Amino acid sequence: MTPLERVERLYDELVEHYHEGDQRELRAAAKLLLVALDRLRRHGGPGWDDLLDEYVHAAKHDPERLRRMLEGNRGVPPGELHA
């Protein structure tokens, strides 16, 4: 299991933790985002926010690029993962 797959499994576990609560997927994603932001800030060096901006820009304006980034982190050859 790749690190990304393990994070996705944790996300699924968090969603399940919220049972049938309101916006359980959003709440689970927000928890992971808070931890990730803290780790980026702490360990990312002086340019951590530039990396964050790059990811946010891809999420907002180039979903295909974001998908390719996720595929690459899974070790899946381009085009084999269909979201």
The whole-model pTM stands at 0.75
Instruction: In whole angstroms, give the CA distance from residue 12 to residue 9.
Output: 5
For residue 19, count CB atoms less than 10 angstroms from its CB and return exposed for 0-12, middle for 13-18, buried for 19 or more. Answer: exposed
- Phi-psi sector, 77: left (phi>0), alpha (psi -120 to 50), beta: beta
Segments of the chain scoring below 50 in pLDDT? 82-83
Interval 55-67: pLDDT, tens: 999 999 999 999 9
What residue segments make up the domains of the chain, in order of their start?
3-74
